[in-house]
Structure 1
Amino acid sequence: MSTTKPRILSGMQPSADSLHLGNYLGALVNYVKLQDEYDAFYFIPDLHSLTSPDGATNLAERSRATVAQYIAGGVDVERSTLFVQSHVPEHSELAWVLQTITGFGEAGRMTQFKDKSTRYGQDSTNVGLFTYPVLMAADILLYQADGVPVGDDQKQHVELTRTLGQRFNHRFGETFKIPEPIIPAEGARIYDLQNPTSKMSKSAQSPNGRIDILDDPKVIAKRIKSAVTDDGGVVAFDREAKPGVSNLLSILSAFTQTPVDALVQSFEGKMYGHLKVEVADAVVARLEPVRARTLELLADPAELDRLLAVGANKARETAQQTLDAVYDRIGLLRPLGRA
């Protein structure tokens, strides 16, 4: 289907059974908004998941669950191209080509590689983690994306993508569109409910600090009402002095579309308990229908797989064109039947 809209590409790893609140507010809500303005390609980076020590555990189930949450959260498969990375083999093929023009030092300077290799230790750090940013560059360049919606922590990877695309174009001729990072202007940064100085993460030590989309509403309410605050009693936004209260205010603001300053005024003279009840009610009201729709989709895995096949076929139309152009530029023979 031809379109005059600029194209974007983004995805979230299926590294847990459920997306958490940070994923929902930081990425999925924006995916839904952006599909009106852009020719949106959203994917499940299952190959990237293999770089973590337990990345292959229940990967098929986690991939389906992530797809179902994309759809339940509002991604429209009629307006957006939704697919699984491993269903489009051109990702891996282009990644290999890009690895041959990537410097060893370049790859080694990637912040996420340095952080994760330090965390895992040398014996548990695999080569896939080292080349992860190059596969990410292939993901983006393969679809000639104009923009890449990412958080601040992924900007370095988009910069490497731009560098590799420009390097290839310079050496072999114009082939790739050079993408720009799209950093959402809106969207709260969500922190752990038990450790509000750290981002909410699936790798946190305690699940009590995390809200998952697929959590039972009673669990969500209990975790919010047990959130860490401080010894004071005044509801105010101060990220340094009141990280727990500020986190709750950010969550409530994101779910109610009410400015934080207005929320602070509304809680004047009230206690932290009042704030927690309102946050819990707002989060449950929004996530409960998403959870119900996700479970409905997961009850019919054959239909999910059918939708993913449709998405993969659409994605491959673009991916094959790009890879064919790459092979032509560098002199690799293409198989018969691929004109």
Structure 2
Amino acid sequence: MAKKIFSGVQPTGNLHLGNYLGAIKNFVELQNEKDNNCIYCVVDLHAITLKQDPKELKNNIRETAATFLASGLNPNKSILFNQSLVPAHSEGSWILSCIGRMGWLNRMTQFKEKAGKDKEKASVGLYIYPILMAADIMLYDATHVPVGDDQKQHLELCRDIAQKFNNDYNVEDFLVPPEPLIQKQFSRIMSLKDGSKKMSKSDVSDLSRINLKDSKDLIINKIKKAKTDPHPIPNIVEELENRPEAENLLGIYSSLKNQNINTTLKEFGGKNFSELKTNLSEQLIDKISPMAKEINKLLNDPAYLDKILLDGAEKANDIAENKVKEMKKIIGF
């Protein structure tokens, strides 16, 4: 069945393997499924919930767009734009913030994690971030949203807001409560240095991640130094329990090869990690090196990237602006 799909990626710059395998690779696959209508957004409004350097933010927006394109997203098949170019996102977010409830937002665990102990110093934007996310999705009548486990709670809030708006204004099915598309395998790529932590740009050690612009030598070195354990690779998936580093490396290899982990265990079961690491490095170089080359080529043509984003924003604006106009009529503006 055809799906209307919306998803976004924050322009943090220097995207890594976790971003690619956990999200962007899935975006490309969804785009290439017959009849899917896909909208992918560089969510720069979300980025400023934390203070940003203006020049760096502009560069990061372009770099995220370049990564999308280098990964296989096609602006002729999908709408690709950055959020701040479409004013309806901000306007829709305000309307929905008058529908959402404080109690709902107080239950959002991600705010508590990001705000830390001193939440009084966190921005209001960080607190109401899930409301903007709800507007992002519902302005396009998205039926499905690819999310990781950490965003599932936000999508449930989005559904609550949709249902409350529809009930409050007696407009059945006006706002579409979206369904999550949760990647069953390899949605969370973990640190190469600690299999209990998600791969992250914020980790102080660059050895903890494969950046999408890493050179061949860097990739080989990082995989060689990736943490493992002293036991051989098992033959069955149940034996990976309590072996997070082993599971992570096998999962990365499986995702790159588009195969399930059982197939990978048949290939490497009983062998030492050195053999897996050699093969994993080859797979990463085959996938990452052409992508890195294309990202760097695109970054040398900022005018082209800006045009792609502007063209996408015009298409997105036609849809989102119309939805906000309908919302205003329903509300009584």
Q: TM-score range by the shorter chain?
A: over 0.9
TM-score normalised to structure 2 length? 0.93
Is structure 2 residue 3 aligned with structure 1 residue 6? yes
Moved more, 237-246 or 143-152: 237-246
The equivalent of 2:122 in structure 1 is: 125
SS at match of 1:228: coil
SS of residue paired to 1:58:
helix
2:131 maps to 1:134: yes
Q: Is residue 105 from structure 1 mapped to residue 81 from structure 2 by the alignment? A: no
Q: Give RMSD over aligned pairs.
A: 1.8
1:326 aligned residue: 327
The one-letter code sitting in structure 2 at the alignment partner of 1:6 is: K
Q: How many residues align?
A: 326
User: Given residue 43 of structure 1, which amino acid in structure 2 is its aligned partner?
Assistant: C
Q: Which amino acid aligns with 2:154?
A: H
Checking the alignment, whether the CA contact within 8 Å between 2:40 and 2:81 is kept in structure 1 is: yes
Counterpart residue type for residue 286 of structure 2:
A
Letter in 1 for 2:315: K
Can you list the C-alpha shifts for 1:256-301, whole angstroms capped at 9, x where unaligned? 2344333333335532211111111111111111111111111110
Return the alpha-carbon distance in structure 2 between the equivalents of residues 50 and 104 of structure 1: 21
Query: Which stretch of the first structure deviates more once superposed, 202-211 or 287-296?
Result: 202-211
Deviation of 1:252 (Å): 0.9
- Divergent runs of 4+, >6 A: none
d(CA) in 2 for partners of 1:260 and 1:96? 44
Structure 2 unaligned blocks of 5 or more: none
Q: Distance in 1 between matches of 2:184 and 2:246?
A: 22
Cα shift at 1:187: 3.6
Tell me the equivalent position of 2:177.
178
1:19 counterpart letter in structure 2: L
1:335 corresponds in structure 2 to none
1:55: how far off? 7.0
Shift of residue 57 of structure 1? 6.5
| Aligned residue in 1 for 2:142 | 145
- Partners of 2:191 and 2:198 within 8 A in 1: yes
| Distance of 1:55 and 1:171 partners within structure 2 | 41
State the 1:309 CA deviation: 0.9
Residue 82 of structure 1 deviates from its aligned partner by: 0.3
Q: Distance in 1 between matches of 2:314 and 2:262?
A: 47
| Corresponding letter in the other structure for 1:189 | R
Residue 221 of structure 1 is matched in structure 2 by 220
Q: Tell me the CA shift for residue 244 of structure 1.
A: 1.4
Unmatched 5+ residue regions in structure 1?
A: 333-339
Give me the whole-angstrom Cα distance separating, in 1, the residues matched to 2:6 and 2:83. 12
Identity %: 40
Separation (CA, whole Å) in 2 of partners of 1:224 and 1:57: 33
Matched, 1:24 2:16: no
Q: CA separation in 1, counterparts of 2:269 and 2:317?
A: 55
Write the letter of the residue equivalent to 2:205. S
